């Protein structure tokens, strides 16, 4: 009888452990068993719904034993989709594609055995979701980054997989998160007129009375640099320089990109060339800009750019200590997380430096999980920045244009 009594006393703990291993949809099913299970299922769901989660459904390392590709038939992917469908309002997704070996790779760097790529069909993924779930993101052919898994020796940590950042439908008090998807034509219209609070709220799906504190921005590589520069300059001026920024170039996609946002032209006008005249024709297929905005009285944010001037572990550590000091100034946070965008064309002399940056970040701020990808151009500025131009620093870190050969970090905290 004592054993039975001990088992009954530990029953709530055991039930919670079992329920925490279930997906959201499975939790809804078992909650119908009885009132006791319903009570504990509700508690577990409440735990989840106010936490922004990062998920790596399938981790793949080119330099180790290959793992099965992350297609929709993958059990982990199915569970990820179920959780997204039930609990999540929006997900920012990084899709890793197999990288084609570079012809200019030095002989000293071993070329791994490349495996055929099995593309992750985003359309198929979206078909599994209800209309209330929104997915935005970008594809990277150079690799994904996530500190949720052990960081290997090499920079290209993951391909043929998906990592995602899930924003729940129910957010903590004083926290505002929004997503946006813009066509190239719409972005050009925005930069032609003076950006104000009203137009910013309309274009970026953001409350007019709330200051934005962090922007995670991803753009297609066909977007002209001039448009990027003008748009970022307008955003920065509107927020008096008090907004963090991180992002990069990639093949962007969005399930929320409505037909009304698409350019008024025929898809037949795009002939597949890279000429600037075909920008509008290409942007009818996919959006030009996608991203997330964070703000609210209980949100804190910081960003950092590490450029070509920082090529040693010591200089990287010094820069990341600056970021750590900003984060520590926030005080206690209920949750902290970050995004990272790393250049894939920094040159082989900086190949190891890219690894150093992530490794040092994990050492200095192990409690902050990172998700991101390798890109061919980055967005970012040190935060906060004065609005006046600083020519002396311009060569090191640009303030309002696409950056090359950099690492950009965007860190967000909920207090």
pLDDT, tens digit (0-9, with 9 covering 90-100), for 335-367? 899 999 987 655 444 445 456 778 888 889 988
Rounded average pLDDT over 63-68:
44
* pLDDT at position 187 over 60: yes
* pLDDT at position 413 over 90: yes
The pLDDT, as a whole number, for residue 224 is: 87
What are the angstrom distances between the C-alpha of 189 and each of 151, 180, 206, 399?
Answer: 42, 16, 18, 22
Residue-averaged pLDDT of the chain = 71
Q: Check residues 29 and 114 and name the one with the higher pLDDT.
A: 29
- The reply to whether 43 and 186 lie within a common domain is no
- The reply to whether 128 and 193 lie within a common domain is yes
- The reply to whether 116 and 235 lie within a common domain is yes
Rounded average pLDDT over 136-160:
64
The tokens for 95 are 């899709």
Note down the domain range covering 62: 50-415
Rounded average pLDDT over 250-278:
52
- The reply to whether 369 and 247 lie within a common domain is yes
How far apart are alpha carbons 195 and 239 in whole angstroms? Answer: 11
Question: Where on the phi/psi map is residue 174: left (φ > 0), alpha (ψ -120 to 50), or beta?
Answer: left
- The reply to whether 300 and 254 lie within a common domain is yes
Backbone phi and psi for residue 326, each to the nearest 5 degrees, phi listed first: -65, -45
Q: What band does 218 get if pLDDT is binned at 50, 70 and 90?
A: very high
* pLDDT at position 77 over 80: no
How far apart are alpha carbons 182 and 174 in whole angstroms? Answer: 26
Element (H, E) at 342: strand 335-343
* pLDDT at position 191 over 90: no
- The reply to whether 29 and 165 lie within a common domain is no
* pLDDT at position 214 over 90: yes
- The reply to whether 25 and 158 lie within a common domain is no
How many structural domains are present in the chain? 2
The pLDDT, as a whole number, for residue 267 is: 37
Rounded average pLDDT over 233-260:
82
The pLDDT, as a whole number, for residue 346 is: 55
Rounded average pLDDT over 368-385:
78
The pLDDT, as a whole number, for residue 85 is: 66
pTM above threshold 0.75: no
Q: Check residues 378 and 213 and name the one with the higher pLDDT.
A: 213
Rounded average pLDDT over 263-289:
46
* Contact (CB, 8 A) for 404 and 345: yes
Least confident among 69-73, 121-125, 291-295, 339-343:
69-73
- Write the burial class of residue 314 (CB in 10 Å: 0-12 exposed, 13-18 middle, 19+ buried): exposed
Nearest Cα neighbor of 81 from 141, 121, 138 is: 121
Q: What band does 329 get if pLDDT is binned at 50, 70 and 90?
A: very high
The pLDDT, as a whole number, for residue 9 is: 55
Rounded average pLDDT over 192-197:
84
- The reply to whether 156 and 297 lie within a common domain is yes
Q: What band does 74 get if pLDDT is binned at 50, 70 and 90?
A: low
* pLDDT at position 7 over 90: no
- The reply to whether 143 and 38 lie within a common domain is no
Q: Check residues 146 and 232 and name the one with the higher pLDDT.
A: 232
Name the maximum alpha-carbon separation found in the chain. 81
- The reply to whether 302 and 274 lie within a common domain is yes
The pLDDT, as a whole number, for residue 298 is: 94
The tokens for 49 are 């719904």
* pLDDT at position 107 over 70: no
The tokens for 358 are 């992530």
The pLDDT, as a whole number, for residue 309 is: 75
Q: What band does 375 get if pLDDT is binned at 50, 70 and 90?
A: confident
Rounded average pLDDT over 177-185:
90
Rounded average pLDDT over 80-88:
66
DSSP-derived letter for residue 158 is B
Question: Which of 154-158, 271-275, 352-356 tops mean pLDDT?
Answer: 352-356
- The reply to whether 231 and 166 lie within a common domain is yes
* pLDDT at position 391 over 60: no
* pLDDT at position 98 over 60: no
- The reply to whether 307 and 237 lie within a common domain is yes
Question: Where on the phi/psi map is residue 106: left (φ > 0), alpha (ψ -120 to 50), or beta?
Answer: beta
Q: Is 315 helix (H, G, I), strand (E, B) or coil?
A: helix
């Amino acid at each position: 009888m004592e054993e039975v009594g001990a088992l009954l006393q530990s029953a709530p703990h055991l039930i919670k452990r079992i329920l925490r291993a279930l997906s959201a949809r499975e939790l809804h099913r078992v909650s119908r068993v009885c009132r006791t299970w319903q009570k504990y299922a509700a508690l577990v769901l409440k735990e989840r719904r106010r936490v922004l989660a990062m998920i790596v459904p399938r981790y793949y390392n080119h330099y180790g034993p290959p793992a099965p590709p992350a297609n929709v038939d993958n059990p982990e992917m199915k569970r990820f989709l179920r959780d997204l469908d039930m609990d999540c309002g929006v997900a920012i997704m990084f899709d890793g594609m197999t990288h084609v070996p570079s012809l200019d790779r030095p002989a000293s760097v071993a070329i791994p055995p490349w495996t055929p790529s099995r593309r992750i069909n985003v359309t198929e993924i979206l078909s599994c979701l209800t209309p209330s779930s929104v997915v935005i993101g970008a594809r990277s052919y150079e690799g994904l980054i996530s500190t949720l898994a052990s960081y290997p020796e090499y920079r290209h940590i993951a391909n043929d997989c998906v990592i995602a950042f899930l924003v729940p439908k129910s957010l903590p008090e004083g926290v505002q998160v929004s997503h946006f998807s813009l066509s190239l034509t719409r972005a050009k219209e925005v930069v032609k007129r003076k950006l104000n609070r009203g137009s910013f709220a309309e274009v970026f799906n953001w409350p007019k009375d709330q200051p934005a504190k962090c922007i995670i921005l991803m753009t297609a590589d066909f977007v002209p640099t001039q448009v990027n520069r003008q748009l970022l300059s307008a955003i920065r001026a509107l927020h008096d320089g008090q907004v963090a920024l991180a992002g990069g170039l990639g093949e962007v996609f969005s399930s929320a990109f409505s037909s009304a946002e698409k350019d008024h032209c025929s898809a037949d006008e795009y002939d597949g060339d890279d000429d600037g005249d075909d920008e509008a024709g290409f942007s009818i297929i996919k959006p030009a800009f996608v991203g997330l905005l964070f703000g609210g009285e209980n949100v804190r944010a910081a960003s950092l750019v590490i450029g070509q001037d920082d090529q040693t572990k010591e200089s990287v550590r010094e820069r990341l200590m600056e970021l750590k000091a900003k984060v520590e100034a926030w005080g206690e946070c209920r949750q902290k997380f970050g995004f990272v965008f790393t250049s894939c064309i920094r040159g082989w002399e900086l190949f190891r430096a890219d690894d150093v940056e992530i490794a040092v970040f994990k050492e200095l701020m192990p409690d902050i999980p990172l998700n991101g990808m390798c890109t061919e151009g980055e967005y970012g500025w040190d935060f906060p920045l004065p609005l006046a131009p600083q020519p002396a620093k311009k060569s090191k870190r640009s303030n309002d244009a696409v950056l090359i050969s950099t690492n950009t970090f965007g860190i967000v905290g909920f207090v």
